[in-house]
Structure 1
Amino acid sequence: MRKLIVFLIVLVILLVAVDRVAVAGVERDLANRIAATADLSGTPTVTIEGIPFLTQAVSGHYPEVRFNLGTFTYGDVPVKNLRGAAYDVTAPLADIIQNRPDIRAGRVTVSGTLTRATIDKYAPQGVKIGGNGRRLTASGEVTLGANKVRFNAEMRVVLADGGIKIQAEKIEGVPDQVAQLVSYTIPFQGKLPFDVRVTGVKSVAEGLEFSAEASDVPIRG
């Protein structure tokens, strides 16, 4: 009985070791494929969610694969902490071993951050952007005709054609024209990894965080 228990313990340890070695190999392969698909200069960090891994590998189906792409330039705008997840990934083990291109994700989501420095860079002259992480604010002094007008405003962030628009929503005690002088657009267009489409943007402590997604995405090597 004691020998059986020892054997079972050793077997479990071996299976766990094989599972971890196998997942590391597939994560490395997927990282290379994602780098090629997204046209990255470096290799992203990839994590296959779920334990045990071997059952996923045998079935060729991975419910969730997370990745971190680091810093990425979208058009002329730097994006920090670009990360995401691929869901319902179909990757037959034979295709991975033989480096076949037939690997797809049912859905891919991506998010990234535009820093405070980027937000300030595109702000009109005399406009200083602040905020508490949940909402952006603006303050400063702008020229209206021959006069200098000081203002404080709450800002609203919305998606617009060709960019992210930051517009004055609450600005009181000054002429209406000041709201137009304070509002501006950050150009945000180009090609994101996996051809995802930007679907939302919100204010966070680090700046502005956008979200994007795509369906039926090929992950080619």
Structure 2
Amino acid sequence: MRALRISMITVVVLGILFVAADRIAVMIAESEAADRIRSTQGLSATPEVSIKGFPFLTQVAGKHLEAVDISVSGLDASAGGHTVEVSEVRAELVDVEIAGNFTTAVAGRAEGSARISYEDLTKAAPKGATVTYAGPERAAKGQVKIAGPALQLLKSAGIEVPETVRGMLSGEEIVVHSTVEPAEGGAVRLKADSLPDVPVPGYDGQLRQAVDYEMQIDGLPAGIRLDRAKASETGLTFLGTGRDVSLVG
């Protein structure tokens, strides 16, 4: 009986030691992966990395991780020479095959998202434009509201307005509802669905040039393409998916 009790205590102690060693190993791996992701992705901030599944050591031995979550705040988005902060970028990677000591890691599939506030969307918009919540009906379509003085919007787009026309546009406020859609190179585009009538004919093209703009968001692993947007009262969340996504290397 005494021998059985000692054996049980030994098993429990070994189990505790294994769990402790496993958790220490995963914390070291997460820290190392975070540094490598920052370096290989060229990020301005170090991401938080969470390796899912237990035990970790057996996953490493099999060169396969069930799932890895990445999140990073304080990254930049750029649009028209403006740089603004993205609230948070997240990526959830599944079926991650690793090689070496995390020298390469490729996820079979991945989902990514990036959140940005209306305040920062406004900073990235053409000068004079304000980006705000468009209401629940339009938000369900991934739309936002962009508004601003017509003269200032045209000027910020580099469009010359003759003196004779300025008087007609003076005090004219432009309000459009723009849909967020994917653009080339991983960027997203805010494009007005329609333009309001203005008292000066022939300025539709110039107005569209003034209110439509693109924004490049950094921080997502290469291979995740942002393809849709979800609007809320606090801002926009850009969403995307990818396959065979390179995490590091």
TM over 0.5: yes
- Paired letter, 2:95: D
The size of the alignment, in residue pairs, is 212
Query: Whose strand fraction is larger, Structure 1's or Structure 2's?
Result: 1
Which residue in the other structure is 1:10 paired with?
Answer: 13
User: Post-superposition shift, 1:116?
Assistant: 0.9
3-state SS of 1:120 partner: helix
Contact 1:64 1:88 survives alignment (8 Å): yes
**d(CA) in 1 for partners of 2:231, 2:5:** 60
Equivalent residues in 2 for 1:3-152, closer than 5 Å: 3-75=6-78, 76-92=83-99, 95-96=100-101, 101-121=103-123, 122=125, 125=128, 129-132=132-135, 135=139, 136-137=144-145, 146=168, 148=171
- Paired letter, 1:109: E
Comparing 105-114 with 21-30, greater Cα deviation is found at: 105-114
Contact 1:124 1:184 survives alignment (8 Å): no
Gap change, CA 1:79 and 1:54, over 3 Å in 2:
same
- Paired letter, 2:70: F
**d(CA) in 1 for partners of 2:199, 2:239:** 32
Q: When the two structures are superposed, what TM-score results if normalisation uses the length of structure 2? A: 0.67
Determine which of 206, 216, 219 is the counterpart of 1:189: 216
Gap change, CA 1:55 and 1:218, over 3 Å in 2:
same
Which residue in the other structure is 2:180 paired with?
Answer: 157
3-state SS of 2:216 partner: coil
**d(CA) in 2 for partners of 1:104, 1:128:** 37
Contact 2:133 2:234 survives alignment (8 Å): no
Gap change, CA 1:140 and 1:69, over 3 Å in 2:
closer
Give me the identity figure in percent.
26
User: Post-superposition shift, 1:90?
Assistant: 1.2
List gaps (5 residues or longer) in structure 1. Answer: none
List gaps (5 residues or longer) in structure 2. Answer: 152-164
Gap change, CA 1:32 and 1:51, over 3 Å in 2:
same
User: Post-superposition shift, 1:214?
Assistant: 3.6
Gap change, CA 1:77 and 1:63, over 3 Å in 2:
same
User: Post-superposition shift, 1:55?
Assistant: 2.2
3-state SS of 1:23 partner: helix
Which residue in the other structure is 2:239 paired with?
Answer: 211
Q: When the two structures are superposed, what TM-score results if normalisation uses the length of structure 1? A: 0.74
**d(CA) in 2 for partners of 1:104, 1:126:** 41
